[in-house]
Every structure is written in structure tokens, then in C-alpha cells.
Amino acid sequence: MSSNNYSPEHKARELLHSFGILKPPINPYNICSRLNIKISHAYFDKANAFFTLKNGVKEIILNHSINYSLREKFTIAHEIGHYWLNHGQITACPTSDIMNYESNEKIELEADRFAAELLMPSFTFAEDVDKLPLSIRSFKILAKKYKTSLTSTAIKFIENTKFPGAIFLSSNGKISLKFKSNKFNYTLRHNDELNPHSYAYDYFIRNIDPPNAPVRVCSDAWLDDENAFHSFTEHSFPYRNFNQVLTLIQHN
């Protein structure tokens, strides 16, 4: 296990380098094998996974309810994070805390950051982002390359891009996650209720598919900023199987 003197991202890179893993896609199942961490499945309520260390035996127990391979992949990387970051001998991860990035639980937030860096290491991902415009299409390109979910890829992309923009994930008709790039100097919407001016609202409430390209939208659809005088575009991409919408907001 690693010491506690560095960031979760540094420790994820440290683990990759220790195994000579320098190119994507990253296989967390293989990393578990090399760390002698057993992976098993079980049915349980209110948690996506557990990490346990008992009598020297390390085990990640995944909930059988995880029915999306990329979600399981991120969850395993998250649990490896708990082990490598010395978070204790038993950690239970609520469903809402994995791939949340805004969890109030410090160790869950650290494990998410570790997982994102493990699967999309900055030593290759940042270079890839520099070569691409900020767009849903770019998210898809890198999600395919790294074999990661579109949402986790979009979050990592927005954290590394040189372009101004913001992303929102809406789940079951409400905003559940939001992130903006360093150069997007506007206040994101605080209310988790979708604004009727947004195309994401149309999808959930009016059952209207969003346009498959960026379209102009009122700033108040996604921003709480009286000084947002620029015109903006919204590109919303629905995940129909999960009742979610990923939205990218940019200057027009």
C-alpha cells in the first residue's frame, strides 16, 4: 500500500508505474490480480461494493445489481483506491457515492479521484485532450479509447481542457452532477431542478429528444449568473437505458 503524503491522483499514477502500465486502456481486473485482491459478487442493499481486508485476505465484493460493465470497471478502480489509499480494513460504498465526485465523505471523494486517474491517467489523457475540441464527440472518442463511461470521461475532459465550458448530468429529471472548466467564468445553476428553457427538460418532461448537435439556449437554462451576457449552446446527449442526460454548455 501507498503512503499518505500525496494526492489520490499521484498515488494512482504511482500504482500504474509500479506495474509498468503506461498505455490505455487500463484493466482494473488485472491490477486486482497483481495486488492479490479477490473479486466476488453478492446481493446487498444500499451499497455498490465493499472492500475488505481480513486475516491478510483482500477482497472486493461487488453488488450483483451493477448491470453496466463500465460502471463495474469504475467501481473496482474505486475500491482499489480504498486499499491503496489506506482507508481501512472494511469500506462500504453507498450507490450514491461512487462516481459522484461531490460526495461529502472525504474517503469516497478520494477514491473517486483515484479511480478516474487510474483509468484515465494524466500522462496520456491530458495529451489526448489537448488535441481535441470540447465536444460530446470528443468525449465519445476518448471513452472508446480508454474504455470508460461517457460521464467519467466527460468529467476528466472538462477538468483538463483549455476551452471554456461546463457539463451537467441529469438523472430522472434532476441535475445530479455539474462541473466546469477552469476558463468557464460563470456560476453554474445551484437548483437541481431542470429549467424549462433547457433541452434536457424537454427530454424528461415533454418526452422530446434533444437535438443531436449544439443549439443556442438561454443562459438562465443552466447558469445562475446575471452577468452571463454571452449566448450559449447546449448539447444534450441522452442515456436512455439509465434515464439520464449528459449536457455540455459552451459559449456560442
- Block residue for cell numbers 472486493: 60
pLDDT of residue 104: 54
For the record, the C-alpha cell of 165 comes out as 465550458
Q: Which residues pair with 251 in a beta bridge?
A: 232
Q: Give me the pLDDT at residue 44, please.
A: 84
Architecture of the domain defined by 8-119: Orthogonal Bundle (1.10)
| 208-244 pLDDT, tens digit each | 999 999 999 999 999 998 776 678 999 999 999 999 9
Distance CA 156, CA 122 (A): 9
**Res 2 pLDDT > 60:** no
Question: Which element (helix H / strand E) includes 66?
Answer: none
pTM of the predicted structure, to 2 decimals:
0.91
Does the pLDDT value for residue 136 go beyond 50?
yes
Question: What's the sign of the alpha-carbon dihedral 4, 7, 13, 16?
Answer: positive
Kindly report the average pLDDT of the chain as a whole number: 92
Do the Cβ atoms of 153 and 189 come closer than 8 Å?
A: no
Q: Supply 103's cell numbers.
A: 460526495
The answer to whether 142 touches 153, Cβ cutoff 8 Å, is yes
Lowest mean pLDDT among 104-113, 115-124, 199-208: 104-113
